[in-house]
Amino acid sequence: MIPLIVMPDQSIPYRGRFAPSPTGPLHFGSLVAAVGSFLDARSQGGEWLVRMEDVDTPRNVPGAAEDILKTLEAFGFEWDGPVLWQSRRAEAYAAALETLKGAGLAYG
């Protein structure tokens, strides 16, 4: 059997993301992940977004998100568009879920 290879749709612009959790300072492993994501997005001519994964509220550390963003800036990162905060997107996610349900594309 020949494996099926799905080529990406070239009409959809590439969008890379980095989504740290604000549970403390940015650690080296996350910095490496940011570098990889950033370089991949830029090499594809795409945009690079930062999305703060702040939904695990018991683990969030006050000031950590701002510290992470300042650290990224200190290393020369520039992201495209505003930082998205997961905790502020519940309404958008609910609307997307309703759209999927209405189209019969949601399980359950």
Residue 9 lies in a domain: no
Per-residue confidence (pLDDT) for residue 1, from 0 to 100: 55
In a domain, 3, yes or no: no
In a domain, 80, yes or no: yes
Give a yes or no: residue 2 inside a domain. Answer: no
Torsion of CA 38, 49, 21, 31, to 10 degrees: 20
What CATH code is carried by the domain that includes residue 21?
A: 3.40.50.620
Domain boundaries, position 49: 15-102
Considering its fold, how many domains does the chain have in total?
Answer: 1
Angle at 53 between CA 44 and CA 9, to 5 degrees: 30
> What does the block give as tokens for 26?
């940015």
d(CA 24, CA 59): 9
Contact 50, 84 (CB under 8 A): yes
Q: Is residue 41 part of a domain?
A: yes
Per-residue pLDDT, 2: 59
Averaged pLDDT in 10-residue chunks for the chain of 108 residues: 58 92 97 98 96 96 98 98 96 96 90
| Amino acid identity for residue 82 in this structure | P
Q: What are φ and ψ of residue 19, in 5° steps?
A: -130, 80
